[in-house]
A and B are shown apart, each in its own frame.
Chain A
Amino acid sequence: MGIYLPIAEISVNIFVLLAMGAAVGFLSGMFGVGGGFLITPLLIFYNIPPAIAVATGANQVIASSVSGVLSHMKRGTLDFKLGGVLLAGGIVGSTGGIYVFAFLRRLGQLDLFISLLYVVLLGTVGGLMLVESVNALRATRSGAAPVLKKSGQHNWIHRLPLKMRFRASKLFVSVIPVLGLGAGIGFLSSIMGVGGGFIMVPALIYLLKVPTNVVIGTSLFQIIFTSAYTTLVHATTNQTVDVVLAFLLMAGGVAGAQYGAKAGQRLRGEQLRALLALLVLAVAIRLAIDLFVTPPNLYSLSAAGLN
């Protein structure tokens, strides 16, 4: 069944989009990530213009994050104060990202920049995760006890000034890295259409030493607002949010996410991480190939002025 997307201005198959949303939702529920980093490239592979894929991806991320945050709120695994500080940084980063986005679009380099960012970020994160999880799998197989991190272990980040206490996370840390992390994620959110959970989660765990149980809830909480802000600004400055496209993805996504979360409980942590790493790497490689393969048309047209 075909449906015409009013902003992307192309006809697409409604079931393909629902299935795409459900599949990504399932994965995101399973791995505890927003799924934006999968949705946006998939939309680009499906011939949605990258600018629209990014803005609509940000809109879709809100739905899956709301659905995830609700269950974390119920379990009490959410640090509102930490989320609030991350969010303050996120708004600043996102605003900057929107300007860079509009600027690159005018230059005609937006599509390339989006692809490059995806290849570099997904490649790095996927690669690191794969190495880490394979090592963990090997360690458990050989029977060695996993290395326990000593609590109270400090790094340079903990020596920065302007310290603040985050009770729910049992953390006393400077606000500078928290704001900086928020800003970085906000920037990526507006340029890549991702929530940024796949960077936020490891950064909170390894850099700020936030306890793992509050990380996902807090990250999702701040992602809701960063992507809501990103969606709003994209809608007003670039008119690139396709609400019909977003809704189809969300509808499939929220259903898939709940089943995915259930399925995820049956897999072991390292296995889960290794699978996610492979998936992330596959997307990165697919995008990288497109950068190097000779395009069918060397010339492209775009409207001047109204970009």
Chain B
Amino acid sequence: MKARNTFATAILLTLLAAAVPAKAQVPLTEGIQIGLSTDNVSITAGFSGADLTIFGSLENPDPLVARQGRYDVIVVLEGPPKPVVVRRKDRVLGVWVNLDSETFENVPVSYSVATTRPLQDITEPNSYKQLSLGASNLYMQPADAGDSPATIEEFTAALRERKSATGLYSENVGGVQFLSQNLFRATVRLAPNVPVGTHKARAFLFKSGLFIKESSAQLEIRKSGFEQSIFRVAHDYSFLYGVFSVSLAMITGWLGRLIFRRD
């Protein structure tokens, strides 16, 4: 039994040895892989933002290209997509009122980018548009396509501006570093108000300005702790939560009278 096994392995090794030199003649296509040390992150109530490190590797990199630093990597951590309403205030009789609005579908709640170099140095603006890559190139789908292009453009710009101002959309130039010829480390920022849900980590590989390959992984961001339990109860058992709030107020009022009475 054992003897036959060894024999089979030996044949396999011979076959492999034969295959490798034959394949080496055509240049191998590069690939990219990323790995997350965990598939879920729990953040507590006092969370004030953090850096998330993602490791990845290039497959079959060309040593020459790597030495010249012509490989570029962009890593994106994208929050769950949600519909968003953007409203604009205008003056009505001197009072600022929300007048116009535009609804966008499937807008990622958060979008953190880390890159090896500034985005404009990696590739052409057009390829970013095609890949819908980068906070300023991300395609925002208006719910009502009938609105005028100028209006849609204005509200899209406002949406991006508000998202960056609140730290939900961020860019970390130089956040991706090569540790060796094929190993890299990406640091993406998690904003203090990072949304919970399934986030998608995506890595894009560029070689001399050309898009080569993409790889992705999923990450679940959860909030944990006492405050989060309250939030969940308030949403899942809202009636009981209301009853509890009312009872707490009544008991506090009664106790306050007992403890602090001054008449």
Task: Let me know if A2 and B96 touch, CB within 8 A.
Answer: no
Q: Give the Cβ gap from B177 to chain A, nearest Cβ, in Å.
A: 32
Contact across chains for B89 and A254 when beta carbons are under 8 A apart:
no
Docked CA distance A291–B230 (Å): 34
Decide if B227 is an interface residue (CB 8 Å cutoff).
yes
Check: B212 CB closer than 8 A to any chain A CB: no
Q: Which of A205-222 contact B (CB under 8 A)?
A: none
Chain B residues with CB under 8 Å of A244's CB are 227, 230
Tell whether, in the assembled complex, residue B257 and residue A254 are in contact, meaning their CB atoms are under 8 Å apart. Answer: yes
The verdict on B13 contacting chain A, using a C-beta distance below 8 Å, is no
Q: Which residue of B lies closest to A290 (CB)?
A: B96
In Å, the complex CA distance between A257 and B88 comes to 42
Given known pairs A292-B95, A298-B89, A301-B84, the reply for A255 and B256 (CB within 8 Å) is yes
Residues of A contacting B241 with CB < 8 Å? 235, 241, 243
| CA–CA, A294 and B260, complex, Å | 44
- The count of chain A contact residues (Cβ–Cβ below 8 Å) is 58
B68 → chain A, closest Cβ, in Å?
43
Beyond A67-B256, A70-B257, A254-B257, whether A231 also contacts B85 by CB under 8 A is no
A64 to B254, CA, bound (A): 9
What A residues does B98 contact at CB under 8 A? 108-109, 112, 300
Complex CA gap A261/B253 in Å reads 15
Most chain B Cβ neighbours within 10 Å, of A5, A59, A259, A301: A301
Q: Which of B155, B227, B228, B254 contacts A67 (CB 8 A)?
A: B254
Report A119 CB to chain B, min CB distance, Å.
10
Q: What is the total number of residues of chain B having a CB less than 8 Å from a CB of chain A? A: 55
B84–A295 contact, CB under 8 A?
A: no
* Nearest-CB residue, chain B, relative to A224: B250
Q: Does A142 contact B (CB under 8 A)?
A: no
Asked whether B234 lies within 8 Å of A239 as measured between CB atoms, the reply is yes
Q: Tell whether B67 is near chain A: CB-to-CB under 8 Å.
A: no
Any chain A CB within 8 A of the CB of B94? yes
B239–chain A nearest beta-carbon distance, Å = 5
A60 to B155, CA, bound (A): 38
- Give Cα distance in the complex from A239 to B87, angstroms: 23
Q: Which residues of B contact A231 (CB under 8 A)?
A: 242, 245-246, 249
- Beyond A63-B250, A66-B250, A232-B239, whether A108 also contacts B87 by CB under 8 A is yes
Q: Is the CB of A304 within 8 A of B238?
A: no
Rounded to whole Å, the gap between the CB of A253 and the closest CB of chain B is 8
Instruction: Kindly report which residue of chain B lies nearest to residue A240, judged by CB atoms.
Output: B234
Q: Mark A286-298, 1 if CB is under 8 A from B, else 0.
A: 0000011011011
**Given the complex of chains A and B, what is the CA–CA distance between A98 and B262 in angstroms?**
37
Complexed CA–CA distance, A9 and B45 (Å):
9
Complex CA–CA separation, A258 to B262 (angstroms): 6
Q: Is A156 an interface residue when CB atoms closer than 8 A count as contact?
A: no
Q: B103: CB under 8 A from chain A?
A: yes
Contact between A235 and B228 (Cβ–Cβ < 8 Å)?
A: no
Q: Provide the B101-122 mask, 1 if CB < 8 A to any CB of A, else 0.
A: 1010000000000000000000
A300 nearest CB across to chain B (Å): 5
Tell yes or no: A167 within 8 A of B by CB: no
Smallest CB separation, A297 vs chain B (Å): 7
Contact indicator B239/A235 (Cβ below 8 Å): yes
Known contacts A63-B252, A67-B257, A239-B238, A301 near B230 by CB under 8 Å: no
Residue of A nearest to B163 (CB): A301
Interface residue ranges of B153-177 to A (CB < 8 Å) = 155, 158-159, 161-163, 165
Residues of A within 8 A of B45 (CB): 4, 6
B interface residue numbers (CB < 8 A to A): 45-46, 82-90, 94-98, 101, 103, 143, 155, 158-159, 161-163, 165, 193, 227-228, 230-231, 234-235, 238-239, 241-246, 248-250, 252-257, 259-263
